[in-house]
Amino acid sequence: EAGVTQFPSHSVIEKGQTVTLRCDPISGHDNLYWYRRVMGKEIKFLLHFVKESKQDESGMPNNRFLAERTGGTYSTLKVQPAELEDSGVYFCASKPTIQGFETQYFGPGTRLLVL
């Protein structure tokens, strides 16, 4: 069974540019989460999809971040325009159901560097 995949693995952009990160969850996993780790800090929750619907987007930093999950399969996270403080590692995770105790399966992350 294929795991969670993320693309690209690395991205270096200049301040003011746009970047789109993609996450492909494990097939059949309705629940998809985005997290971010800024260097030296803890991994922080950004948002949660159940199928194509945003269940919780309380962790999104501001309106420069836009997440979508059209069709309930893969998800994209767009940052527009990127700022220096957006640098970090963006993780995606998925799991089959919404049950809190269920294991989340993480992707390898996308390392974003904004110069």
Partner 1 sequence: AQSVSQHNHHVILSEAASLELGCNYSYGGTVNLFWYVQYPGQHLQLLLKYFSGDPLVKGIKGFEAEFIKSKFSFNLRKPSVQWSDTAEYFCAVNARLSTGKLIFGQGTTLQVKP
Specify whether the CB–CB gap between 69 and 32 falls below 8 A: yes
Is there binding between residue 106 and partner 1 (CB under 8 A)? yes
Point out which span in 21-29, 40-48, 62-70, 71-79 binds partner 1 (CB under 8 A): 40-48
* Cross-strand bridge partners of residue 67: 77
Contact between 108 and partner 1 by CB under 8 A: the answer reads: yes
76 counts as binding partner 1 under rule CB under 8 A? no
Query: How far apart are CB 41 and partner 1 at their closest, in Å?
Result: 7
Beta strand extents in 39-96 (DSSP E only) = 43-50, 53-56, 65-68, 75-79, 88-95
Residues binding partner 1: number (CB under 8 A): 29
Query: What angle (nearest 5°) sits at the alpha carbon of residue 97, between those of residues 93 and 4?
Result: 25
Alpha carbon distance 73, 83 (integer Å): 28
CB nearer to partner 1: give 53 or 80: 53
Positions that interact with partner 1 (CB under 8 A): 3-4, 31, 33, 35, 41-45, 48, 50, 55-56, 59, 91, 93, 95, 98-104, 106-109
